[in-house]
Amino acid sequence: MKRGKRFSLLAVALAVCLLFSGCTDSKELTEIIPVVGVGIDDAGDDLTKLTLQLGYVGNSSEKDKAKSEALIYEKTGKNIFNMFRDYARESSHKLFIGHNQCIIFGKEAASKGIKDQLDLFLRDHEGRIDVSILVSDSTANEILTTKSEMSPMSALDITQLLKNQQATSESIDVDLLEFLSKLEKKTTCPVASLIKINKETSTPRLELSGLAVFKNDKMVGELDKDKSRGYLWAMNKVKSGTVDVQSESGRASLEICSSSSSLNPSVQEDGTISVPITVKTELGIRELAGFENEDPSDIEKELQEAAIERIKGRVLSCFQATQSYQADIYGIGTLISQMQPDKWKDIQENWDDLYSKITPEINAEVTIKDSGKILRS
C-alpha cells in the first residue's frame, strides 16, 4: 500500500474514534453548578463555617434571576471536604470548583491558621492554583453574601478589584500557589489582600484595604494602603498610582509613570545585616496647587525632594511594621541563604530577632517626567 494512502486511512480511523468517543469523566453542564467564591470562617469549638457563592445553571428565567441575586450555600462542620460532599445530598447538581475566583478567610479564621483549609484546594484535581487568596476585615460570609453596587456576585467584583489594583498599587493579587510556596520557605512570610465592605455608601461597596501579614500560616498583622505601597515599592511591584506631596509652597498630585527597585541584602564581615533598598521612579505632574510666581525648575526640584521623602517614608514605615511582627515578608532571609549559605547557617536560628533589629538603607531617585500641558497653574 502506498504511503500516502496508508496515511489517509489512518487519519480517517482516528477521526472515527474521536467522533464516537468522549471523555469518561466529562460532566454535562446540567449536572454541575460552578463555585465562583469560597468563604471560610471560624465557628468556634473547632468548627468551620463554609460559604460558597454559586453560579446559575438552568433555563433562561433562572439566569435572569441571577442578575438580581446570588446563590449562596452555607454549611458548618469540621471537614471542608465533607461539607462539599454534603451539598450532593441537598441538590441535584454537583459542585464544580474549576471556575472558583477566590478563597476568602475571615480575620478570626486567618489568625488561627489557614494551611489545613487550603490543603483541599491544592489537592483537588478540579481546583485552580491561581485562585486568589484574601482576608476579610470581618467575616468571609459577610463578603460573599453582600450584594455590591456593581454586581450581585461579589466574587466576580473581587476579581475585577484585584485587576484594577494595578492602577493604584496599594494591594496585590496573591494566588494559592504563591501563598503556599512562601509558606514552604523557612523565613519568608506570605501576605494576602485585605478586603472590606464600605457601608458608608448608599449601596455597600467592596474595597481592597491593604495587606494581611502572615507568619507561618497565621495572620499576625495588617498593612494599610500606604504601608502596602511601601512593600510593593521595595519588591519592584509598583505599576502605577499617584504620589501626593505637600510642601511649604503648595501641593501636587504626581502620577507614577514607571518604577523599578532593587533589594540586595547581605551579611557583613562584622556580622551586621545590610539591607539596601533602591527605588527609581518617574513621575508626571497631574495636579498642582500653589507655587505662585515660582520658576518651573524650582517647582520641579521642590516636588522631587518632597516625593523622595514620601517614598522613603512609606518604604520605611512598612519595613518597621513587619519588624514589629517579626515577619520577613520580603524574603530577605531566603536571599541571604541563597547568596551566602555559610553565613546563613550562623544566623538562621536567630533570624526573627535579627530581622527585627535591621536598619534598612533606603534610597529613592525621582525624575519628573512631564508637567502635563502647562507649566504652572
DSSP string, 295-317: -HHHHHHHHHHHHHHHHHHHHHH
Q: Look at residue 179 and tell me if it is in a domain.
A: yes
C-alpha dihedral over 246, 223, 358, 354, to 10 degrees?
A: 170
- Across the chain, mean pLDDT equals 85
- Percentage of the chain modeled with pLDDT above 70: 85
Q: Look at residue 289 and tell me if it is in a domain.
A: yes
Q: Is 129 left (phi over 0), alpha (psi -120 to 50) or beta?
A: alpha
Q: Look at residue 17 and tell me if it is in a domain.
A: no
Q: Look at residue 68 and tell me if it is in a domain.
A: yes
- Closest to 282 (Cα-Cα) out of 297, 300, 298: 300
- Closest to 135 (Cα-Cα) out of 110, 112, 160: 110
Q: Give the orientation angle of helix 80-90 with respect to helix 115-123, to 10 degrees.
A: 60
Q: Look at residue 6 and tell me if it is in a domain.
A: no
Domain final position from 197, 223, 249: 223
Query: CA 242 from chain center: how many Å?
Result: 20
The predicted structure's pLDDT at residue 74: 94
- Closest to 120 (Cα-Cα) out of 97, 94, 154: 97
**Residue 160 domain boundaries:** 26-223
Residues 253 and 374 in one domain: yes
The predicted structure's pLDDT at residue 21: 43
CATH number for position 330: 3.30.300.210
- Can you tell me which residue has the cell 511601601? 230
The predicted structure's pLDDT at residue 318: 98
Residues 45 and 191 in one domain: yes
Ranges assigned E (strand) in the chain? 32-44, 47-54, 71-77, 94-96, 102-105, 132-136, 191-198, 205-215, 218-223, 242-246, 250-263, 266-267, 273-274, 276-290, 361-370
Residues 204 and 64 in one domain: yes
Q: Give the count of domains, the chain.
A: 2
CA distance 37 to 71: 11
Residues 172 and 287 in one domain: no
The predicted structure's pLDDT at residue 142: 95
Q: Look at residue 230 and tell me if it is in a domain.
A: no
Domain final position from 223, 247, 267: 223
The predicted structure's pLDDT at residue 69: 61
Low-confidence ranges of the chain (pLDDT < 50): 1-26, 59-61, 63, 65-68, 373, 377
Q: Look at residue 89 and tell me if it is in a domain.
A: yes
CA gyration radius for the chain?
26
Residues 76 and 218 in one domain: yes
Instruction: Answer yes or no: are the C-beta atoms of 240 and 308 closer than 8 Å.
Output: no
Residues 46 and 137 in one domain: yes
Contacts of 245 (CB under 8 A, 6+ apart): 251, 252, 254, 303, 306, 307, 310
SS3 111: helix
Residues 361 and 214 in one domain: no
The predicted structure's pLDDT at residue 140: 97
pLDDT tens-digit map of 87-98: 877 776 788 888
Residues 219 and 253 in one domain: no
Contacts of 237 (CB under 8 A, 6+ apart): 169, 172
Domain final position from 180, 200, 223: 223
Residues 256 and 210 in one domain: no
Residues 219 and 242 in one domain: no
Residues 148 and 120 in one domain: yes
The predicted structure's pLDDT at residue 293: 77
Residues 320 and 343 in one domain: yes
pLDDT tens-digit map of 169-222: 999 999 999 999 998 888 899 999 999 998 887 788 899 999 999 998 999 999
Q: Look at residue 273 and tell me if it is in a domain.
A: yes
| 232 DSSP assignment | H
